Structure 1
Amino acid sequence: MRLLLTGIIAVLLSVNHVLAIEAVYIPQPRSNLDIGHEYHTSLLKKALIHGANGRAIPIIKTSLHMPEARANYEVTKGEKVDVYWFGTDAKKERDMRAIRIPTSKGLIGYRRFIIHKDSIEKFDNIASLLALKQQTACLGAHWPDIRILQASDLPVVVNTMYENIFKRVHAKRCDYFPRAYHDGYNEVSVRKNRYPNLVHYEKIVLHYPFAVYFFTPKSKETLAAWIEDGLNAMIENGEFLRHMQSHLLTAHIFPLEQSADVRYINIPNPSLPEDTDWKNKKYWFQPSDFGFAENKKPALN
């Protein structure tokens, strides 16, 4: 009997050793003004705590500074980066393990614009997709949004460096930087000394179903399941929404109300996997949450 108990204990210790994760590596912030990095890092930490189920909580460590394309490569390879958050598309979900819980309830698909202050009057007169097609958007290289906007014939120019996008709009070398519903306000505020002519334009919302997910290498299923369990637990006990309502990145958007003069332009997202359940209110904000008609079809002109 003693030998049997000893064997069982050994097996349990072995299993716990396999499940033990001492550290989780993520890339460094894109810049020292990258509020979104702290948002996701703190959300990841909370998910690890809520999904621990008695296990020791891993330490989150930063590895290298890298553009998104490099981070994508490193997560796919699974050596220098264990977790990162990307705007999802079908290819990423094939190459990596997607944790299909939007990290900001799909807010990234509701876009408001960063523009030059001299362009306010011009954008005040834009009320349709056809009118928006006369303007050029600035986006980061390798972002899934490029294909989304181009699929609706919206002109796009790309920039390799994140900070250079703001510089380009400020220099009037493109017309607008479409930012996630929660991003633009803070991004303009923290750069007001560097780029004093940038403004956060809130009278147009360009919507397409889109989300940021946490991704892990496919080889790290234990870690992925741990994060997934933690995020679901946070949703069930209300901690997920509290995180959004209290964090600097997203707190200012609540309550989700629109003034009557906001123009809503809806376009499809052909890059989103067909089985994405973006109508699921548990995980995704819906247009009606912002006061927009849910049954409004994607714009055709």
Structure 2
Amino acid sequence: MRYLSYLLVALFCCTTYATDTKYVRVTAGAHPYVLELIELALSYQKEHYKLEYVKNIPTQSRAIRLLGKENGIDIFWSVTSFERENMARAIRLPIVRGLLGYRILLINESHQVRFSKLNHISQLQSFHYGLRHDWPDHDIFVDNKLSVNAFHTLSGALNMLRSNRFDAIPISVLELPDVLKSYKTYAEQALLFYYPSAVYLFVDKENTQLHSILQNGLNQALLDGQFEKLFNQHFAQLITDLSLEKRTIIELKNRSLPPSAPLDNSQLWYKK
């Protein structure tokens, strides 16, 4: 009889725990850093949260429209824009500390000497840059009066680069290691392009509760150092390997960044 009582208590505890678990839906296949950061933000709550992974969400435009929907997701992450902040509720904390706005050029190795002598954007206006038509930096480069040729596939663009159809392809430092691993190409050694860019977490506009939970969790992670610790675990070696600190920075304006971005809070941004 006593054993049965213990068993019933145990079953009740397990049922209560399962019932109290709250699930937050996210897109499957995301970068581990983003998922770990979301879990970190949720961990500051008394309730137990668990991520539920949703497959077959092919595009960012599709993902943001599925926020809060029955067969959709609860959290979306992307480079912010005026349009996206109108469509969804943003947690205005740049989760990769602006690192996505740092670009290194793919060039022909034989042209390295030409680039090594440059240090100002005015010297780069005579070069031709290949950018995919739907990359956010396509319009940024055009807006900064740089000559841009659009392409549709990176493999085709690399062939155009080799045949000197254009001089360089800017690649995000977050994507560069995979590009260099997948293609036989060369990364320019001296320059680092930069424009302010913020990747935010977004939730459905009506979901003020989840917005508050994520905002408070990320703020607490900043205060206790866990945000920076997680960032360094994923990106410190990358920053070292690409010699970002030693490169000459070329700054571009980004008028597509909403003025609400917290650019004045240096704690939120990586600066070389």
Inter-CA distance 279–217: structure 2 relative to 1 (3 Å threshold)? same
Q: Is the contact made by 1:136 and 1:154 (CA closer than 8 Å) also made in structure 2?
A: yes
Deviates most, 215-224 or 133-142: 133-142
* Structure 1 position 61 matched with structure 2 position 53: yes
The SS at the match of 2:266 is coil
Letter in 2 for 1:153: K
Give how far 1:171 is off: 4.5
Equivalent in 192, 195, 215 of residue 208 of structure 1 = 195
Q: Deviations over 1:153-174 (max 9, x none)?
A: 12334455xxx32552355154
From 106, 121, 138, the counterpart of 1:129: 121
Once residues 132 and 169 of structure 2 are traced to their aligned partners in structure 1, the CA distance between those partners, rounded to angstroms, is 10
Picking from 187, 212, 231, the partner of 2:218 is 231
Deviation at residue 58 of structure 1 after TM alignment: 2.2
Match of 1:187 among 178, 181, 187: 178
One-letter code aligned to 1:176: A
What is the distance in 1 between the residues matched to 2:123 and 2:70? 44
Task: Quote the offset at 1:218 in angstroms.
Answer: 1.2
Report whether the alignment pairs 1:168 with 2:157: yes
Aligned length: 250
Residue deviations 1:122-154 (CA, integer Å, cap 9, x gap): 422433323322333344444432222221112
| Contact kept? 2:93, 2:262, Cα under 8 Å | no
Worse overlay, 61-70 or 212-221: 61-70
Checking the alignment, whether the CA contact within 8 Å between 1:97 and 1:218 is kept in structure 2 is yes
Bigger Rg, which one = 2
Q: Which moved more, 1:119-128 or 1:37-46?
A: 119-128
Alignment partners' CA distance in 1, 2:127 and 2:69: 38
Structure 2 residues without counterparts, runs of 5 or longer: 1-18
Within 5 Å, which residues of 2 pair with 1:1-301?
21-26=22-27, 28=29, 37-49=31-43, 51=44, 53-75=45-67, 79-158=71-150, 164-165=153-154, 168-169=157-158, 171-172=160-161, 174-184=166-176, 186-191=177-182, 195-196=183-184, 198-247=185-234, 249-253=235-239, 258-259=245-246, 262-286=247-271, 290=272
Q: Which AA in structure 1 matches 2:199?
A: V
User: What is the CA deviation profile of residues 25-77 of structure 1, one whole-angstrom value per residue up to 9, with x for unaligned ones?
Assistant: 21545xxxxxxx2222222222222x3x2112122303214133333443497
1:182, 1:250 within 8 Å by CA — same for their partners in 2?
no
Q: What TM-score, normalized to structure 2?
A: 0.77
For structure 1, which runs of at least 5 residues remain unmatched after alignment? Answer: 1-16, 30-36, 291-301
Identical pairs, percent: 24
The SS at the match of 2:49 is coil
Change (3 A) 1:176 1:167: same
Say if 1:159 and 1:97 are closer, same or farther in 2 by CA, change over 3 A.
farther
Normalised to the residue count of structure 1, the TM-score between the two structures is 0.71
* Partner Cα separation in structure 2 for residue 241 and residue 278 of structure 1: 17
